[in-house]
Structure 1
Amino acid sequence: MPEHDEHQGKVAFITGGGRGFGRAFGAALSARGAHVVLADIDGAAAEAAAAELTAAGGSVTGVACDVADEVAVEAVMDEVAARHGGLDILVNNAGLHAAYNRPFTELGLAKVRRVLDVNVMGVVICSLAAQRAMRGRTGAAIVNISSSAAYANRSIYGVSKLAVRGLTVSFAREFAADGIRVNAIAPGLIFTDTVRAQLPEAEAKRVLGEQILQREGEERDIVEALLYLVSSKASFVTGETLRVTGGFALSV
């Protein structure tokens, strides 16, 4: 089967799909023939992204969904499974990022709890809700989005992404009997438009100075990692976290 046809007829559910990595993942999978559901707490953003990708020739729908709300998640997952006959790919991409990458004492308990609700419990809730719809489907795969911050753990953000790595291993073990592979991607500093606009120049230089590969990380680097992990090329890969960081934060 040609590489670009492998996901023809597959059904993919992407959280945090209204913008950023989520939208890029949706564009790549829909271009390869999958029907993509973009789920986002900002329903308008999800619908707008879906409309753009549909206009480009994809089969994409957008839905409003808070990954920390288990009732809402189950309802959306059940609707998708009923409409499309099941689910083949889940990308747990939704997360709280830069504004929460600060010391615990600066954030306060309410924000710390919200990070854990979204970044950790969101992965648990969505994975469990998707399990029934994915069980026994050829090539079924879950990909969680961790971060290079998981290897530094300087903040609740890093701790939450470390938890995502742990959940990836646990769910890989638990879902193996259902034929579902579970892996994660830990992106390093990826120079999206948002990062360019918000990241101080000094911080960008610091991270680039710690990378082994001296070029800026690009969105396509993470998209290519996702496409590998949900493909037949990765059929013997599960429970792993793939670091895509240009060699930043390496360890043995």
Structure 2
Amino acid sequence: MTSATPYAGRIAFVTGAARGFGKAFSEALSGSGAHVVMTDRDADALQAAAAEIRARGGRVSALTCDVSDEGDVAAAMEAVRRDHGGLDILINNAGLHSEEYNTTMANTGIAGLRRLFDVNVMGVIICTLAAAPLMAGREGASIVNISSTAAYPVPTAYGVSKLAVRGLTTAFARELGGSGVRVNAIAPGLIMTDTIRAELSPQTVAYVQAQQVLGREGVPQDIVNAMLYLTSPAASFVTGETLKVGGGFTLGMG
């Protein structure tokens, strides 16, 4: 990419970047000229993903970080401040989303619910509050949270956690708007990443695809395209919104 791209010279921070959406976001942003700080709990997978992107010419660094740990996040943001002077883009992507949490509150249990909400909800809060001072006043500063179309029918513990992410998106949009930071979310439908193929049962996949209006499978590039829109100048007057990208799965669900 040339220096004329809107991402040239920008600093992005992507959580859950070792695989799935996080890795795809990191590839897209670095390929468009940004320097991407990739973070994940899985140090080995993170370093492998970062090395793969660097081998293709992307500018990335890798920091091991648990988004539910305030100390980890504070240290990571301090590294961003020290090395880059500020932050332009935060992608709150890290989250738990396996079949273990795609069930009722009672089935998930208190320990499971604490872990789920620590990562999916508190992780967004911790990272956003830590990043906000580094983003304040920077032209085009943008936060993108990852919710889910499961936050619309909300029949599961996972769906409730992602409903909370929608709420956090509107709350932080109001809270940070005065400093020029836009906050939006993406609600992916069933997107067939390697992780989803491994974790979801064929019955769950078939159920969701049967509810879609569009017949094709969702692919990671669909979510990458939404992220690139929301972090670009094309969305400079968009904040507090959750963009559903699910082939029409939620039509009629609110």
Structures share fold, TM-score greater than 0.5: yes
Q: In structure 2, how many angstroms separate the alpha carbons of the residues matched to 1:225 and 1:107?
A: 31
Tell me whether 1:14 sits opposite 2:9 in the alignment. Answer: no
Structure 2 equivalent of residue 137 of structure 1: 138
Structure 2 equivalent of residue 206 of structure 1: 207
Tell me whether 1:117 sits opposite 2:106 in the alignment. Answer: no
* Cα drift, residue 250 of structure 1: 2.0
Structure 1 equivalent of residue 168 of structure 2: 167
Q: In structure 1, how many angstroms separate the alpha carbons of the residues matched to 2:101 and 2:64?
A: 23
2:198 alignment partner AA: A
* Cα drift, residue 104 of structure 1: 1.7
Aligned length: 252
Q: Which moved more, 1:45-54 or 1:27-36?
A: 45-54
Structure 2 equivalent of residue 94 of structure 1: 94
Gaps of 5+ in 2: none
2:243 alignment partner AA: L
**CA contact 2:89–2:231 (8 Å) conserved in 1:** yes
2:110 alignment partner AA: L
**CA contact 1:96–1:115 (8 Å) conserved in 2:** yes
Summarize deviations over 1:140-197 as a string: whole Å, max 9, x none.
Answer: 0000000011001112111000000000000000000110000000000011123223
Q: How does 1:1-252 map to 2 (within 5 A)?
A: 5-98=5-98, 99-251=100-252, 252=254
**CA contact 2:3–2:33 (8 Å) conserved in 1:** no
Secondary structure of the structure 1 residue equivalent to 2:47: helix
1:124 alignment partner AA: I
Q: In structure 1, how many angstroms separate the alpha carbons of the residues matched to 2:21 and 2:177?
A: 26
Q: In structure 1, how many angstroms separate the alpha carbons of the residues matched to 2:106 and 2:131?
A: 35
1:56 alignment partner AA: R
Gaps of 5+ in 1: none
2:183 alignment partner AA: V
Task: Report percent identity of matched pairs.
Answer: 58
TM-score, L = length of structure 2: 0.96
**CA contact 1:101–1:155 (8 Å) conserved in 2:** yes
Secondary structure of the structure 2 residue equivalent to 1:239: coil
Secondary structure of the structure 2 residue equivalent to 1:178: coil
Name the Cα RMSD after superposition: 1.5
Q: In structure 1, how many angstroms separate the alpha carbons of the residues matched to 2:214 and 2:70?
A: 41
* Cα drift, residue 247 of structure 1: 0.3
Summarize deviations over 1:9-47 as a string: whole Å, max 9, x none.
Answer: 100000001110000000000000100011101122111
**CA contact 2:2–2:33 (8 Å) conserved in 1:** no
Q: In structure 2, how many angstroms separate the alpha carbons of the residues matched to 1:57 and 1:138?
A: 26
* Cα drift, residue 4 of structure 1: 7.3
Summarize deviations over 1:221-250 as a string: whole Å, max 9, x none.
Answer: 000000000000000000000000000012
Q: In structure 1, how many angstroms separate the alpha carbons of the residues matched to 2:191 and 2:170?
A: 25
* Cα drift, residue 2 of structure 1: 7.7
Q: In structure 1, how many angstroms separate the alpha carbons of the residues matched to 2:201 and 2:116?
A: 23
TM-score, L = length of structure 1: 0.96
Q: In structure 2, how many angstroms separate the alpha carbons of the residues matched to 1:120 and 1:195?
A: 20
